[in-house]
Structure 1
Amino acid sequence: MLRPMNRRHFLGTAAGAAAASALPFRAGASGDPLKMQAAWINDAEFAGYFLAMDEGYYADEGMALTYLPGGPDVIPESTIIAGRADLALTTPDTTIKAIVEQGAPFKIIGTQYQKNPLGIVSLASAPINSPEELKGKTLAVPPVNVISVEAMLKLNGIDPSEVNIVPYAYDPTPLIQGEIDASLDFTTNVPFTISQQGVEAVSFLLYDFGFTTFNDTVVVTQEVLDTKRDQLVTWLRASRKGWEENFKDPAAWPPKWEGTHFAGTGRTIENEVYFNQAQQPLIEHPDGIFALTDDGIEKCLSALGEVGIVGNAEMFDTSLLAEI
């Protein structure tokens, strides 16, 4: 999931940014139509939806789902503002920031990741396993994520000046070559990428050290919530079923999609299997996939507050999950 995390200030560019990077996938020839905007290109991050489409879970619920892949030029919130999709998977910081600063009419109705996959990646030969161990080290961080890393450090009693933070361009080569000590990246994917170079990597999540945010939050506009509530509940139910089936054996499904959903991405099936296995504990929840608990919402809002994004529980609607 090597994605440029540049989804900021999107409402002014909704028309141009909402075009999908690949052709849409339509599941079910008839039924209630619903359009879903994914957060990134087709990879294991969206395995549960691929399974639900291919196994007919949406069609069985009477839904004709159109799945829109994402990409570096796709801002999911823009897609639903422009009316090109009914729901989107987003990062909660951009969504809540848009609600607070731009009055965006969004509601978060679920979350795919209970724990954000973003974390600190280092080499197993010189492991960094905690914020404390970052002191005196060189950490490469994408510019848009510096504020989140600094918040995580402060939450652990570390002055950011004690860590040499340098820009990161989503390329693990400097880490492999020893030019930096660690990087901020997606723990579900980058360690595998590094291992393909014959080097082992370790990682820890920002979430596990205080920066407790969701990721791939399920977002709709208030209008869609008001007019398509039953369809949204249906989507949540069928999608949850897809994820549950996927996680019964995370290694089983990615090979089935080599010539379909994963075709042309340039990623190996071994990579997608690693990804699918790594994300399972970050997605599953005792209350079911997509769960929004009061505790989880409070933790997410608290973490975002550390970076100056002050939201509230009214930005979430947990009632649809109760109807699944």
Structure 2
Amino acid sequence: MDRRDLLAALAAGAVAVPGCLGESNGGGDGSPSATPTETPTGTAPSGTTPETPNGSPGGTDSGTDSGAVADLVDEAFVVPELVAPNSPDSLGVYGDRGEQYVVVLLAGDPGTAPAVGDIELVAGGETYPATTEVGNQAWTLFDHGTPYLPDRDAFDGWVVFRLPKPLAVDAAAVSWPGGDYPLVADALAALARPPASFEVRSFDAPDAVPVGERFTLSLTVENTGDADGTFVGAVNRNFPAYAPVASVRLPVAAGERATWERTVEAGTIDNEGGQLRLWLYWRDDAADREVTVDVGSGTPDGTVARAERDSRTGTERSDTSTETDEPTEEDGASTPTRVAATR
């Protein structure tokens, strides 16, 4: 595919919204593809469920009550940070250690849908306003697509509430004129949980892959704190165009490790290979990790197989180099950096 055609396709449907919640970490790599085409897999701490392809949270982050009767709310869940666009072609992470968010997915009726300004979250005697102003673009939140904007005839979408972290309350509910939606016990427990701390132990991909093949990108995170938590991150790429790969929400029990995986396609420009770089961003001063995949010179097992002229000797060389188990500075998997995050 021609690079210009690819970029045009990725840019379709982008909607700009002014204002943002906090500052984003990570940037420069992403696209307005609202729903990643690959399916993430991973392991979660005992008693929790890993994130699903549609972005529904796993474990105790979920605030959805499947038995609740609500005309407006489809789902509500608690997250420590938000993943949203920070440019037309990249995702970033928003949120501070002392705050958390309730994300609410709405499906309004054109005749009765309340305005965003009429929706609030009531918790512990305080009210918190709904907002759709997250990041500097609005083509996705995690992978939930565009926001709820009834004044623009967008009746299906998301709103968010920013709350302090932790917040211990006996009850909380999303409220609007004529209705409300109580948060369930798991959501209240997540709101009351103190911040967790994480270390990224690995961020890995094959050294090389053939043109057009798929490969597995993996991330292992350790919760080094005393509280269960959810690691939130954003993964972006630079080839064949700057584009997002995925948002990450990985529940990790205190003192434990968990692994997230995503299948990535090694796309091309005009059927030619290149250097694919993947960046992982998470909170804590835009801490990031980078890994590089050589697209076009790889074999199915992830090794580099090539016959090329050595520029220093002028002779032909043919070799196969394999991945090493030890991270290197070159592939971006150097000594892990401790980061603080919340659930």
Same fold (TM over 0.5): no
Q: TM-score scaled by structure 2?
A: 0.20
Q: Which has the higher helix share?
A: 1
TM-score (norm. length: structure 1): 0.21
The higher-RCO structure (CA 8 Å, 6+ apart) is 1
User: Greater share of strand residues, 1 or 2?
Assistant: 2
Which of the two has higher C-alpha Rg?
2
